[in-house]
Structure 1
Amino acid sequence: MVTVRGRAETKAFLRQLPERIESRLLKGAGRAAIDVIGDEAGERVRSDVVREGLKKEVRVRDGRIVARLYVENGWARSLGTWLEYGTVGHFISVDRDQSGGRTARRVNDLAKEGTLVIAGSPVGATVWHPGATAHPFLRVSLDVKADEAVQAAQRYINANVSRLGNAAGDEAEA
């Protein structure tokens, strides 16, 4: 008669396997991929403020692993958006809510660093900004490094799945 040992342990392992694959193995592969894209974006961006504001995130969304590279909220995000897409020509003026009925010259004199001071002199109530040329860094990084990112994810998976099927075991956490 045949005796089977380890049935309970095998069933327990198989029950928890999908969660371990998702939470450890695939998220780790996503991190490996987004690191490649993030490094490229950091090299391409023209602003230290934006470079320091680059953030990476990997999470499970709707049953999928989503790796995201973004610029944190605030001034870095504004600069990043202007760099990525450029700007069209536009007028700049003192916001009426901020001016308190004062002229642009008076706002600048009081603030000592007003928005309409050019070369140390107030320029009037409005100024024409000709726009800025785009210097994309996020989209280009993804285009240039997509294949390398996929390869990095595959290397991570290969390194963390043993021939016995131990998906993202203890060695993956190390």
Structure 2
Amino acid sequence: MKGSLTMRTQKCYAVRPNVSEFLDIARRAYTEVVDDIAGLVAQLGEKYSLPLRTSFSNTRGFFIQMKLEGGVLPGGKLPEDFIKKNNYGFTTVDLMKMNDHCEEALKDIFHMSYVVVSRLMSDVCEHIHCLYKLSDAVSMLDMLLSLAHACTVSDYGNV
């Protein structure tokens, strides 16, 4: 799923909500732009009576895709020289602007997420010695419990 829309969305929400107010605002802006893109495509489909849907690619961003049944265009058929692919991709000036807004929101989200994660890492690094001590104590307890269990099960106490 590298580079897919799903992966991109997951990266947007890698940091839980309510950690940074600005991050939450940037995510809302991103979601609104994506919703506006879907609305624009639906509007265009209704306006021109075409089977349009919203699609996404890494190189193009969001774009309009039209799937034609049997390669028939609303005004007639494709020329015989054309090989039917049944899918056509389009964009509009408004959609290109919305893609730009979407990219800006993503840059903000990724930057703010990086800041939040960096701050968390620095806080953890300050107390890493406590984590080392805790892991040492837990491993010692695990070893003692394993030895006690082995003695109990195997009856080593009576030897």
* TM score, norm. by length of structure 2: 0.30
Q: Work out which structure has the larger RCO, using CA pairs closer than 8 Å and 6 or more positions apart in sequence.
A: 1
More helix by share: 2
Find the structure with the greater CA-based Rg. 2
